[in-house]
Structure 1
Amino acid sequence: MKNNPYRLANAILPIYGWRPLYFISIIPVVLAIYIRRKIPEPQGWLEAKKQPKNDKKNEWFAIYKDPKIRTIFLFWIFTSTFLQFGFYGVGTWLPTYLVQELGFDFKKMTGYLVGTYTALIFGKILAGWLADLIGRRAVYAIGGLSTAIFLPFLIMYHTPGNIIILLTIFGFLYGTPYGVNGTYMSESFPTHIRGTAVGGAYNIGRFGAAIAPISIGIISQAQSIGFGLAILGVAYALAGIIPALFIREKMYDPFQNKTSAPTPQGESNTENHSA
């Protein structure tokens, strides 16, 4: 139970047991039905669907064929891999770290994690708002790099008196890239291959999520869990550096059926529609 990585379960299981989790799982189903019926598709996708299709094109071949799209696709694979390595590595090992190395009992640890993950929610909301003010790339890079800096700081300088504050700040930071991830990636690819490119890059990057728990476990045996968590800062740094240097924002407007190359500034011609 102490190694349970699922955040909601960590908060509910010790007090209420497992049955309430099944009732809570109904909420995403209701939200999915609401989104399907009430949220419109982007105009660019609707226009693309209206166009006659004489032959079925292979989206993967289209990604590979275009050098610019292929390059951006590869950059997003690396970025997604490092981001998910860091994010899921923290989610898996932070509860164990609080119990085994900081000495918190399980119920007290759950309270700390609830605060951390609540801050994460607000951090994502703030990231989305800031992205409209200063740009997706800036927010993504700042989120990744600030998490990379703060994670080892948390491990090395925590005390019983400041651990709550440090965990809250950390929760606010480490989910920031996810607050703009979907929008940033979607605007990196043209309409006709957007779903394939975004889904492909992100889910290939799940390799990072898969190996993170094992990797940190191996490191913790040789050093400590805290040292392993600090290493995750390297992954977050790379997740921030790659888009900061190589991935422009707003290269394609999802509300326009536009398949041409992005403008030199990396912005669409109808920026007012970019979400």
Structure 2
Amino acid sequence: WVKEPAIWVENRRLQRAQHRECRTPLFSIFKRELIGNTLTACWWMTSAFVIYYSIWSLFATHLQKDLNFSPAQVAVPIAIANFLAFLASGFWGWTADHIGRRWSMIIPGIITMFVAPLYLLTDNLTLIIAGFVLQGLFGDALYGQNPSYLSERFPTEVRATASAFCYHQGAIFGGLVAPALTYFAINYQLGFGIPMLVGTVVGAISFVLALLVGPETKGKVLVPDLVVA
């Protein structure tokens, strides 16, 4: 049995007691006082998904179709990168508590741009493994701050709705990445590497810009106060 968070319970009590219930939180996040925050959060999450799918969705296809690697050769960089991404997510989470949420994502976001060419512009297996494993520490470890940063950006009345909306609209756009990359790879005879590189770099630039214009929330205390209703 999971209890509701005390802050949310108190917020609901205040809404009822003061007759200021927020009945349509999905519409409330587009009110004047929140719309800027909502849109930059959507921009940030969309960029994050573009990076993720540009790195991962067609990497195995690129190795098999473009470079004719064996299944074992394909599996090695993917397995190692995933493991290191797990460890790196903890490191960047620790960093977020010291230098801020934004810079703990901006720094690996910038590095992501420079790592991508290392494994996408070569057919050398050793360089591909080294580059993709390195990407696991940066481009694949950008997402550990998603829960904290989304939660801290929004007031309690709309926090759950806003976080879910911003995250999943990003996922919708992210889902278009693989078909778009495939279209350019096949119809323009580029192979998969170049479209993946463009998607990763463009996504990372957009990711960094979205964070630069977004708020810093390090040290934010979540409170039950009524802000929207």
Give TM-score, length-normalised by structure 1: 0.73
Query: What is the alpha-carbon distance in structure 2 between the residues aligned to residue 52 and residue 68 of structure 1?
Result: 19
Structure 2 match to 1:108: 73
Deviation at 1:68, TM superposition (A): 3.4
State whether residues 157 and 226 of structure 2, in contact with CA within 8 Å, keep that contact through their aligned partners in structure 1.
Answer: yes
1:58 aligns with 2:24: yes
Matched residue SS, 1:147? helix
Query: What is the alpha-carbon distance in structure 2 between the residues aligned to residue 41 and residue 129 of structure 1?
Result: 27
Matched residue SS, 1:176? coil
Structure 2 match to 1:238: 206
Runs of 5+ consecutive residues of structure 1 not aligned to the other structure: 1-35, 262-275
Query: What is the alpha-carbon distance in structure 2 between the residues aligned to residue 56 and residue 69 of structure 1?
Result: 14
Q: Deviations over 1:29-88 (max 9, x none)?
A: xxxxxxx64xx75442232133352455211232222x2311110111122112112202
Structure 1 match to 2:9: 46
State whether residues 152 and 222 of structure 2, in contact with CA within 8 Å, keep that contact through their aligned partners in structure 1.
Answer: no
Deviation at 1:253, TM superposition (A): 3.8
Amino acid at match of 2:205: A
Deviation at 1:155, TM superposition (A): 1.6
Amino acid at match of 1:227: I
1:164 aligns with 2:129: yes
1:186 aligns with 2:154: no
Aligned with 1:229 (options 196, 211, 216)? 196
Sequence identity (%): 21
Deviation at 1:112, TM superposition (A): 2.2
Paired positions, count: 222
State whether residues 151 and 230 of structure 1, in contact with CA within 8 Å, keep that contact through their aligned partners in structure 2.
Answer: yes
Matched residue SS, 1:161? helix
State whether residues 123 and 172 of structure 1, in contact with CA within 8 Å, keep that contact through their aligned partners in structure 2.
Answer: yes
Query: What is the alpha-carbon distance in structure 1 between the residues aligned to residue 222 and residue 142 of structure 2?
Result: 23
State whether residues 151 and 159 of structure 2, in contact with CA within 8 Å, keep that contact through their aligned partners in structure 1.
Answer: yes
Distance of aligned partners of 1:192 and 1:168 in 2 relative to their CA distance in 1, 3 Å threshold = same
Deviation at 1:162, TM superposition (A): 2.7
The RMSD of aligned alpha carbons is 2.2
Query: What is the alpha-carbon distance in structure 1 between the residues aligned to residue 126 and residue 218 of structure 2?
Result: 46
Structure 2 match to 1:72: 37
Give TM-score, length-normalised by structure 2: 0.87
Q: Deviations over 1:131-157 (max 9, x none)?
A: 011110001111222212221233225
Query: What is the alpha-carbon distance in structure 1 between the residues aligned to residue 123 and residue 162 of structure 2?
Result: 41
Distance of aligned partners of 1:143 and 1:258 in 2 relative to their CA distance in 1, 3 Å threshold = farther
Query: What is the alpha-carbon distance in structure 2 between the residues aligned to residue 46 and residue 149 of structure 1?
Result: 46
Deviation at 1:192, TM superposition (A): 0.6
Query: What is the alpha-carbon distance in structure 1 between the residues aligned to residue 120 and residue 215 of structure 2?
Result: 33
Distance of aligned partners of 1:76 and 1:52 in 2 relative to their CA distance in 1, 3 Å threshold = closer
Query: What is the alpha-carbon distance in structure 2 between the residues aligned to residue 148 and residue 70 of structure 1?
Result: 29
Deviation at 1:219, TM superposition (A): 1.5
State whether residues 89 and 213 of structure 1, in contact with CA within 8 Å, keep that contact through their aligned partners in structure 2.
Answer: yes
Structure 2 match to 1:83: 48
Aligned with 2:140 (options 175, 180, 198)? 175
The within-5 A match list for 1:249-264 is 249-250=216-217, 253=220, 255-260=222-227
